[in-house]
Amino acid sequence: MSTDARHSWSAAAIDNAKQAEYVGFLHREPFVIDAYALGFTVGVREDYSYQSSLRNVDVPIEILDNDFRNPDLDRYIERFEQYEPAVGMLGDAYDREEARRYNRAARELKGKFPGTEIIIVPKCRKAIPAIDDDIVLGYPMGYSDKTAEEYTNIVDWRERRVHLLGASPPKQYEAIQNLTQPRVTGEAPADIVGVDWNGIHLAALKGQYFTPHGYGDADHLSIRATVRESLEWIRRYWQRRDVWPMSGTGQNPLDEEPMDPVFAADGSRATTTELEDAIVVEYENGQTLAYRSECERNRIEYREGLVPVNRT
């Protein structure tokens, strides 16, 4: 190995390798609305929807994740063809044969939907070479049953297109550095296609928002505002490290700005007249509802399992 191997990749090439094409956030309304407006690429798992309650905003499903606890490739493909997402997380491959099966499905989908990024998550070392080079490898972090470092060496992922699954941005950035920075052995950097992390909603339910320096106290904020605060910190973090995509530096346009509309308990839009004497309550799922009486409120909260935002 030449002693010049460590210098074979220019700073410009490495900067290009670590800059993502998208930063993903998979959740539901209203949180996904704020993420979309900030430039995140948004989506859901195949067995979910956005659970739409804000009727004046239409947010696309750009990423379609798979139900990893109950995988069904045929079902996933049906959902994929329904939504036509820009990014499809096809599934986890625990052996070489499973990787080949997913790879065949990826080839068919890319044939039908050119330009779509397909992600396969290799959950064993032997699965990686069974996946075509133009298919994105999912690099499992976070709450995965197996993390990449448990069964692979960082070299296995170099020279491949990679999406980082889960873990906080500082942990993801450490992985990005390992995947892209020059090595004595001279391997090409991995191409970081995307990253995603959805843990900020769980933190919000505990009254905390994410910052790169630790979690902040959000007792004074609603759940939605807490999640939005975390999203803004994540966006700034990736921008400062040149990972945020060039095409996502601005905000995505929405047909109408979501103004947290208040709905009457029957689901209709509450009017100014109705609100004058109504009991208006904001909930942790992002809804705001207006009730005619405490009796009506108690009945509907019990039936729907609604949890009011605690503002104390």
| CA proximity to 191, closest of 238, 158, 148, 156 | 158
pLDDT per residue over 151-170, tens digit each? 999 999 999 999 999 999 99
Both tokens of residue 194?
A: 């995307």
Q: Is the pLDDT of residue 287 over 70?
A: yes
Q: Is the pLDDT of residue 273 over 70?
A: no
Averaged pLDDT, 55-69: 84
Give the pLDDT of residue 13: 86
pLDDT per residue over 89-112, tens digit each? 999 999 999 999 999 999 999 999
Contact 62, 232 (CB under 8 A): no
pTM of structure? 0.79
Q: Is the pLDDT of residue 264 over 50?
A: yes
